[in-house]
């Protein structure tokens, strides 16, 4: 057998929180994983291109620093 065939797969559970806030009429998403000290944030911005109104999302990875 190859080494990769000897590995066993184990299921794991992870809890996460997805928050939605409206900021200036646009959605603002925050995704936080319970066991991590970082979060993913998506901020929206309206952009008008060729007469159509589009929404562009910018994703940020933020690391939370806990103070003692």
Token pair in block for residue 51: 């007469």
Q: Would you kindly state where each structural domain of the chain is located, as residue ranges? A: 15-63
Is 12 or 59 the better-scoring residue by pLDDT? 59
Q: Name beta bridge partners: 58.
A: 43
For residues 28 and 20, give the distance between their C-alpha atoms in angstroms, rounded to a whole number: 6
Indicate if the pLDDT at residue 6 is higher than 80: no
* pTM over 0.85, yes/no: no
Residues above pLDDT 70, as percent of the chain:
85
Indicate if the pLDDT at residue 3 is higher than 80: no
Looking up tokens 């809890």, which residue turns up? Answer: 15
The pLDDT tens digits for 12-43 are: 788 888 999 998 888 889 988 887 888 889 98
Indicate if the pLDDT at residue 1 is higher than 60: no
Token pair in block for residue 55: 């929404």
């Amino acid at each position: 057998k190859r080494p990769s065939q000897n590995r066993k797969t184990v299921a794991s559970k992870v809890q996460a929180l997805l928050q939605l806030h409206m900021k200036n009429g646009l959605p603002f998403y925050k995704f936080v994983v319970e066991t991590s000290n970082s979060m993913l944030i998506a901020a929206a911005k309206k952009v008008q291109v060729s007469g159509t109104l589009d929404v562009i999302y910018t994703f940020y990875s933020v690391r939370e620093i806990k103070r003692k």
